Amino acid sequence: MQEFPMRINKYLAHEGITTRRGADTLIEKGDVLVNGKPATLGQKIEKDDVVEIKGKKKEYRYLAYYKPRGVITHSPGKGEEDIEMRIKKLYNLSGLFPIGRLDKDSEGLIILTDDGRITAPLLEHGHEREYHVTVDKKITGAFMNKMESGVNIEGYTTKPTTVTRINPNTFSLILTEGKKHQIRRMCAALGYQVERLARVRIMDIKQNALKPGQFRILKNQELRAFLDMLGITP
């Protein structure tokens, strides 16, 4: 797993684009861009930065991944495993990072990519995310109404949303915001404890047949529609 921040010449060498010395030459010529601006010798980059070589179009990768319960999204502690470690070990995939988070005890859909351009549009523009939530007791009509209209969690009232009953203890919930542990805190505020929390949809990207730990490559119409909704040119 690459460690960031990283010197840009090391990054380009690691990606197999050129040698470190060759990278310095490209930088001196002004042929390396970081987030659309010319790179400088010795510059350090973060993993979400978009690095481009003039005249070379990068082929970005986009994956729909089912994060298993117990796996960390970012920054694992001692003895923990994060998504990057997991996909490297199981599939020998590297250079991809997750957009957004799912907490350790949650599972479900998350987008993996090496395209830093989609981070802000996906996280900051109120796109829908759908979750299936199982709680510790029977769901009442009053509970559903309160979840839909907005719940006060420590002084913040959540935005109105859509809640649909799946079975006596499970419901679907659509969010367009993402406060930390929001769904768990909403349920707790109403006297319920979450037993299982799974994200099943991000915008128009659906879990479909994915099982924990599996992924599929986003491509063709599914990818085009996804990028178009984010305002990103393929």
CA dihedral for 221, 118, 57, 16, sign (positive or negative): negative
Q: Give the closest residue to 174 by CA, choosing from 134, 135, 147, 209.
A: 147
Q: Decide the pairing of beta strands 129-135 and 156-157.
A: unpaired
Contacts (Cβ under 8 Å, ≥6 apart) of 53: 17, 26, 31, 32, 33
Q: Judge contact between 166 and 218, C-beta under 8 A.
A: no
For tokens 């919930």, name the residue. 173
Q: Judge contact between 8 and 34, C-beta under 8 A.
A: yes
Q: Before 160, cis peptide (omega within 30)? A: no
At position 161, the amino acid (one-letter code) is T
Q: Is 103 a catalytic residue?
A: yes
**Choosing from 48, 49, 103, 115, which is the catalytic residue?**
103
Q: CA of 55: how far to CAs of 7, 52, 58, 147, 228, in Å?
A: 22, 9, 10, 51, 24
Q: Cα separation of 227 and 234, whole Å?
A: 7
Catalytic residues: 103
